[in-house]
Amino acid sequence: MKGRRGGAAETRRPPARALVVLPVVRGAGDGEGPETRTAEGRLAEAAGLAEAVNVAVLGRILVPLRKTVPATLMGSGKVEEIAALVRIHDAELVVVDHPVTPVQQRNLEKAWSAKVLDRTGLILEIFGDRAHTKEGRLQVELAHLNYQKSRLVRSWTHLERQRGGFGFLGGPGETQIEADRRVIQTRIRAIEKELASVRNMRQVHRAKRKSVPQPVLALVGYTNAGKSTLFNRLTGADVLAKHMLFATLDPTLRRVKLPHGEEVIVSDTVGFISELPTTLVAAFRATLEEVIEADVILHVRDIAAPETEAQAADVVAVLRELGVDPEAPGRIIEVWNKIDQLNPEASEALKRKADGAEPKAVPVSATTGEGVDDLLATIEAVLLGSRLTVTLDLTPEQAGQAPWLYENAEVLDRSTDAGSGATRLVVRIPEKRMKSFQDWLRRTGAAASVRSG
């Protein structure tokens, strides 16, 4: 990933001139589901992706296709038409928002005399531009190398066969493609080893967090849904929040205090997107483990977006790919963000709809702060709903063990019998501390009764 240091020279580089092409394949093979995006919406998103990586979009082109052409993806007439537009605009890049095979890429670059980048390649470019931590850069490089490995084709002279052995007696040797692939595979193994070390370190940090009874919340959502703005609103942090796809990439964790004083840890994660490359999901698995391990997932939605339902479906699909069950009770709270962009009637209708939504939904505006108090109260109710409330009767001797309860549970009430000196405590136990609490009961021999609430 060359030239990804984010310095002043990179900022001053003039944007690349580009055309954005969206092939729309009609019929059963287009892979579109019931929550279909409009072609115009998909084209606008593709242009937004391009603009997110310092590209000046000079034209947007919809290409209806009955079927794809193996050699060039689209028919010769459309290839020639786009070639003319490339010359008119003096474009140096054509972004094709569709999977493009190595052969198709080579043929289109020859026909258009311009660099061709498909959707996966474009997202990799954006991620490479946004990654600032060592872990982030490693994860992006791993995804990029896996992408490159699949695209080594015989299109340059240096890829011709090399002679092996000595003189004329040597065998055919290996192709440069095979040598390049071996170098890439060696680097992939090295990165995977480094990421394994990072994963182990994350597990150590996660184990330390688990030793303290602080629940973890993970913010997930479609890119540009307002996750980082909400994160800043909740935590008082100063994470980059811009109207730009994938404005932030590296995860950030901060503490937040709930209405009744309990602290939780909130994690801001990378934004999801439709057709997110599987290589990226695999590469970022160490980071996304924060989502897998979270007690509650806050699914932030841009509720003002015309395609909010389709975006939500894409996020749920990625969560399932990570092994998260979105339908598990109390696991997900939907945050319907950007209600400030709705008219008053639509905003009120949305709030009425949220009352009976499942999973739970809270309309908010991360920009103005409207609804954030309701969100915190909902988070608290969900977390407390998974806890047991226990009444403990302690003898004077056992009362000496009560400090453990103050450190590891929530003490709701305490009373002492003046005559016997016995102490009664009402405590609420976090689910993740139940095993430790049971061990404490065995050690102390305290009498306990459980009640709901």
Q: What distance in Å separates the CA atoms of residue 109 and residue 17, rounded to the nearest whole number?
A: 15
DSSP conformation class of 30:
G
Half-sphere exposure of 173 (CA within 13 A, CB side): 16
Q: Give average pLDDT by consecutive 10-residue segment, the chain, 453 residues.
A: 42 82 72 62 90 90 93 95 96 93 93 93 81 76 82 47 39 61 87 83 68 78 89 76 51 80 81 75 67 89 92 90 84 94 92 86 94 92 79 90 85 87 86 83 86 52
The predicted pLDDT at position 288 comes to 73
Q: Report the C-alpha gap between 240 and 446 in whole angstroms.
A: 50
User: How many other β-carbons are positioned within 10 Å of the β-carbon of residue 406?
Assistant: 12
Q: Which two tokens stand for residue 369?
A: 């702060």
Q: Is 141 exposed, middle or buried (0-12, 13-18, 19+ CB in 10 A)?
A: buried
Rounded CA separation 95/121 (Å): 9
Give bridge partners of residue 146 from the DSSP assignment. none
Rounded to whole angstroms, how far apart are CA atoms 394 and 398? Answer: 5
| CA dihedral sign of residues 196, 199, 205, 211 | negative
In the beta sheet, which residues pair with residue 334? 299, 361
Tell how far CA 452 is from the center of its chain.
36
Residue type, 182: R
- Supply the pLDDT for residue 10: 44
Each residue's pLDDT tens digit, 221-267: 998 899 889 998 998 866 554 544 554 555 677 888 888 777 888 98
Biggest distance spanned by C-alpha atoms of the chain: 105
Distance CA 407, CA 90 (A): 67
Contact 246, 52 (CB under 8 A): yes
- How does DSSP classify residue 131? -
pLDDT digits (tens, 9 = 90+) for 396-416: 889 888 888 888 887 888 999
Tell me what pLDDT residue 153 has. Answer: 52
Question: Which residues, 6+ apart, have CB-to-CB distance to 412 below 8 Å?
Answer: 389, 426, 427, 428
Alpha carbons within 13 angstroms on the beta-carbon side of residue 26 total: 5
Residues 387 and 254: their CA atoms lie apart, in Å, by: 23
Rg over alpha carbons for the chain, rounded to the nearest Å, is 28
Tokens of 216: 């973890």
Q: What is the rounded CA–CA span in Å between residue 299 and residue 269?
A: 11
Answer yes or no: are the C-beta atoms of 398 and 442 closer than 8 Å.
no
